[in-house]
Amino acid sequence: MSDGEQVRVDLHVKVLNERVIENARRAGIDVLVYAPHFTRLPEIRERASTYSTDDVTVVPAREVFTGSWNDRKHVLAIGLEEPVPDFITLEGAMAELERQEAAVLAPHPEYLTVSLTEDDIRRFQNGIDAVEIFNPKHLPTHNRRASDLADRLDLAPFTSSYAHLSSSVGAAYVAFERTIESEADLVSALKADAPRRVVYANGLRRWRTTAAELAHLAYENTWKKVDRLYLSGTEPTHPNHVFYDGRFDDVSVY
């Protein structure tokens, strides 16, 4: 990176394929953080490596679903060395992320029933590296509330496209004023509160992205899908799965 240049990072996407990478390249995105739901870390790492190109670096991450399905709180972790399951206590998740020295972000705070509250963020403030202040799924009032929260707690801001659809990629990103060429570089930038700009689309594209992503959210959270896939005890990131070898039994909520 030469003087005056910035590295554009979309800090949270859920989808990854050739179209996503092409959309990112066209939007000038240099780094994508890939954190799909209910997918184990080794698989995320493999896909991230497969789709990384000379133009777009894909960094693997986990959005951990803490708590029960009815009271889940999402925590985004970048820089994990070992897998962490979903449906464990918030306390257990934060302790494990600290042990692994991951960068910890609070996505879509205070949003519906899937987010860290202000009280949660205050409680774990020393272990949280940034708070999302703009999310395309949010309405303007949600984004203002998130931005005010970050300001009150004096925590670094971030944004992301939170893309569940390939068309959303690049709708929001963070422009860092430092070189970021790897997962380790990104973790370091987040933990060091590196200088940054939060950038997002306004106007027609912003509302088109919001409408499409909210429609997808309605589909994704149907109880039929949840019952079939996520609460059986055999899904890939359930803490009781044999993959985790009982390491999280003491903090499992199921």
pLDDT in tens, 119-157: 999 999 999 999 999 998 888 899 999 999 999 999 999
79: CB partners within 8 A, 6+ apart: 100, 101, 102, 103, 183, 184, 186, 187
**Average pLDDT of the chain, as a whole number:** 90
Question: Using an 8 Å Cβ cutoff, are 108 and 130 in contact?
Answer: no
Length of the chain equals 254
pLDDT at 195: 97
Each residue's pLDDT tens digit, 78-114? 999 999 999 999 999 999 999 999 999 999 999 878 8
How far apart CA 46 and CA 60 sit, in angstroms, is: 9
Q: Which of 15-19, 54-58, 95-99, 208-212 has the lowest mean pLDDT?
A: 208-212
Residue 61 pLDDT level (bands cut at 50, 70, 90)? very high
How far apart CA 104 and CA 65 sit, in angstroms, is: 13
CATH architecture of 7-251: Alpha-Beta Barrel (3.20)
**Tokens for 163?**
């893309």
**Tokens for 168?**
């959303």
Residue 245 pLDDT level (bands cut at 50, 70, 90)? very high
Q: Residue type at 42?
A: P
Domain extents for the chain?
7-251
228 - beta bridge partners? none
pLDDT at 147: 97
Per-residue pLDDT at 227 exceeds 80 = no
For residue 229, give the H/E element and its range. helix 223-229
User: Alpha carbon of 168 to those of 129, 158, 160: distances in Å?
Assistant: 25, 17, 10
pLDDT at 3: 43
For residue 210, give the H/E element and its range. helix 203-220
pLDDT at 137: 82
User: Alpha carbon of 239 to those of 44, 90, 96, 113: distances in Å?
Assistant: 17, 13, 13, 21
